[in-house]
Structure 1
Amino acid sequence: MALVTHPQPPAPTGPAASPDGGRRRVIAMAVWGVAFVVAWLGIGLPTDPAYAFLWIWAGTVAWNSSRPWRSHLRFARDWIPVVLLLAAYNLSRGFADNGATPHAMELIVADRTMFGWATGGEVPTVWLQEHLYEPQVHWWDVLVSWVYFSHFVMTLAAAAVLWLRDRGRWAAYMRRWGFLCAAGLVTYFLYPAAPPWWAAQNGLLTEVARISTRGWKAFGMHGAGNLLNAGQIASNPVAAMPSLHTAFALFVVLFFLRSTRRRWWPLLLAYPLAMTFTLVYSGEHYVIDVLVGWAYVGLTFLVVGVAERGWAAYRAHRRPAEDVPAEAVPAAEPAATVRR
C-alpha cells in the first residue's frame, strides 16, 4: 500500500489553545456523541468501512473544530484510498470460496487434538456454549457483543489518532495493516475454511449458535446491530482461516506496545485474549484460526519491517551522491600537480 506522508501541521496555538477553543471542542464532541448514539440506535453500529470512516472523520473534525477546512480535507484525501481498499477487500472476500467445499474437518480435528483432554473431546466452541449459553442474555453476552463490534472500529480509530499525532507512524501502521489484510485475503482464496456455526449447520458438530450480537438485547436495543447482522448475512461464510478479528486486535496492541508504559501492558494484551474468547464462544472461529491469525501478525511485522529497513538502506546509499552540492565536491587536480 503506497502511502505518502506530509508534515503534520503544528498544533494550534490560537483559538484552539484558548478557553473558548476548549469549550468549542467540548460542544462539538458532545454534538458528535449524541449524533452517533442516535444513528447507532436508528441504523445500527458503523461496521461498514465507508460508514465507519464518515463517523471517524466527523470525530476528527469535531476534535479539531478550530482548524481550517483544508486540514480536514487533507484527512479525507489521505483516507479515501484506504477506505476504497478496505471496501474492495470486503467485497473480494465474498468470492473466495468459488463454490468449492470449504475445509472444516481438519479444523475440528486440530481443536479437538489441542483441547479435547480438557473439554471431553469437544471443540472449545461447543464446550463453552454448553457451559455458558442460555436463552436469557447474561453480562458476558453483553461483553461479547461489545468486543465483537470493536473489531470494526478499533483499527480505524487507532489509525485516526495516529494521523492526528504523527503521520509518519500512521503510514507505517497502514503499511502493516494493508499487508495483513492482503495476506489474509490470499489465504481465503487458497484455503477456504468454514467456522464452527457452519460446521454445526452441516452436521459436522453438535448444535452451535451464532451469538456474537445477542448482547444488545439486554438493553432493549434490538436494532443496534442491524448493520452488523446484515454484514454477517452478506459476508463470505468460508473466510475463517485465519481469524483477522483476533489478528487485528493483536496487531493494534503490538503496534502501540513499545510506546506504552509497561504497567499498561496486561490491560492491552487482555484485548486480543478477550477477542479470542468472544470469537470462540460465539461460534465465529476455532482456536486454530486464532493461532494462525496471530502467526500472520508476527509475519506482518517481520516482512514489512525488513522491507522498510531495506528501503531505508537503499535510500541512504543513494543519498550521498544525490544530496552533496556540486560546489562541495573538490575539483580534481591537474595531472601534473598530483601529490605523490
Structure 2
Amino acid sequence: MVFQGIAISPERYAFVLLLGSLLVKKTRNFIFDWTPFLFILISYDFLRELAGNLNSGTHYLEAINFDQKLFQTLPTVTLQEKFFNTSQVVWYDYGAAFLYLLHFILPLGFGFLLWINNRRYFKEFVTGISLLSYSALVTYLLFPAAPPWMAQRDGYIVGVTKILDQVLEVFSTNLDLVTVYHNLNPNPVGAIPSVHTAWPLLIFLFAYRYFKTKALYFLPYVLSVWLAIIYLGEHYVLDVLTGIIYAIVFYVISVEIMHRINWGHLFRQIENKLFNKKLLKTARDDQAL
C-alpha cells in the first residue's frame, strides 16, 4: 500500500502496534507472539513475488467462461459500463480503491484486537490466516490466473479498465504511484483464490466466534470488498467464490487444530524457556562484570 509516496508494509504497521503494546504494558508478550506472525506475512509477500516469476502459463479463459455461463455476461464489464466514468474518477471509485488497499492493514489490526483481549484467540487466528495464505500461494503456483484487467490488456475481453490505476494517478504528483504499486504487488496472476475475498471473510468468521453478534457490524465491509474487487477489474466472481471456500475451509481446520492440540500450553513452555534463558544469561553477564 502507498500513501503520499511512502510504501506502507507489514513491518511498519508492526512498529505502530509495538507502540500500542507499550501502552498496555505487554511488550514481552508482543515480541513473542507477533514475531512469527510478522515473519509469516512478510515471507508470504516475498513468496507471492516468487510465485509470479515461476508460473509456467497464465490461465485466462476458465474464469471468463464461468462468469459468462453464470450471469450471461461478465459482472466486471456490466458494473463498469453502468458506473465507471472514463473522463473522471468519482467518489465511489475512491471508496472501492480504499477498500481494496486496506488488505494488509486489516489482519494486523484485527490480530491486535484479539491479542489484547485473549492471546489464545490471537493464536487461533494466526493459524487460520497462515494456512489460508500459504495454501493460496500453492494454488497460484499450480494455477496462475489472470484478473479481468489483464485479460482486457491481452485481448481476451473488452470493456474493462484497471480503475485502481486511474485512482492512483490522481495522487501521482511527485511520484508515479501506479508504478510503485505495481512493484509492491509483483504477482498479477494470483487471482484464484481471491485473498481480498478470503481474508475479510476469515476475519469475520473469527470475529463472530469471539464477539458473537457484534461481528455483524463488520459484515457490510466484507460484502463491500467483494463488490469492489469485481468493479475495479481485479477479480471475477469465480475468484470470489473460491476465496469464500478457502476462508471457510481454513477457518474450520484452524479451529479444529487449536481445539485438539493444547497450543496454549506449548506456546507458554517455549516462551518461558526463551525468556528464562535470556534472564539467566543476563544475570551471568552481570556477575562476570
TM-score normalised by structure 1 residue count:
0.69
Deviation per CA, 1:206-250: give whole Å up to 9, x if none: 042212364467xx7447997786243341111111000110011
Higher helix share: 2
Aligned to 1:180: 132
Change (3 A) 1:77 1:225: farther
Aligned-pair Cα RMSD in Å: 2.7
Highest Rg: 1 or 2?
A: 1
Asked if 1:81 corresponds to 2:45, the answer is: no
Change (3 A) 1:185 1:113: same
Deviation per CA, 1:151-207: give whole Å up to 9, x if none: 110111110121122111111111111111121111111111111111111100104
State percent identity of aligned pairs.
Answer: 30
Flag structure 1 segments of 5+ consecutive residues without an equivalent: 1-38, 316-340
Aligned to 1:129: 80
Change (3 A) 1:215 1:115: same
Deviation per CA, 1:98-139: give whole Å up to 9, x if none: 2422111011000111111xxxx3x11111111111121211
- The residue correspondences of 1:19-30 to structure 2 (distance < 5 A) are none
Q: Match for 2:155 among 200, 203, 212?
A: 203
Deviation per CA, 1:80-106: give whole Å up to 9, x if none: 222122121111122225242211101
CA contact (8 A) 1:216 1:225 kept: no
In 2, the alpha carbon distance for the partners of 1:161 and 1:78 equals 13
Aligned to 1:11: none
Q: Match for 1:285 among 230, 235, 239?
A: 235
Whichever residue aligns with residue 230 of structure 2, its letter is V
In 2, the alpha carbon distance for the partners of 1:191 and 1:216 equals 29
Deviation per CA, 1:249-303: give whole Å up to 9, x if none: 11111111144353762x3211121111111111111110010000011111222
In 2, the alpha carbon distance for the partners of 1:297 and 1:185 equals 14
CA contact (8 A) 2:124 2:255 kept: no
Asked if 1:55 corresponds to 2:10, the answer is: no
Asked if 1:143 corresponds to 2:95, the answer is: yes
Flag structure 2 segments of 5+ consecutive residues without an equivalent: 266-289
In 2, the alpha carbon distance for the partners of 1:298 and 1:264 equals 16
Whichever residue aligns with residue 55 of structure 1, its letter is V
Asked if 1:271 corresponds to 2:226, the answer is: no
Aligned to 1:25: none
Q: Match for 2:120 among 161, 168, 180?
A: 168
CA contact (8 A) 1:213 1:225 kept: no
In 2, the alpha carbon distance for the partners of 1:269 and 1:224 equals 37
In 2, the alpha carbon distance for the partners of 1:143 and 1:257 equals 25
Aligned to 2:260: 310
Instruction: State the number of aligned residues.
Output: 260
Aligned to 1:254: 205
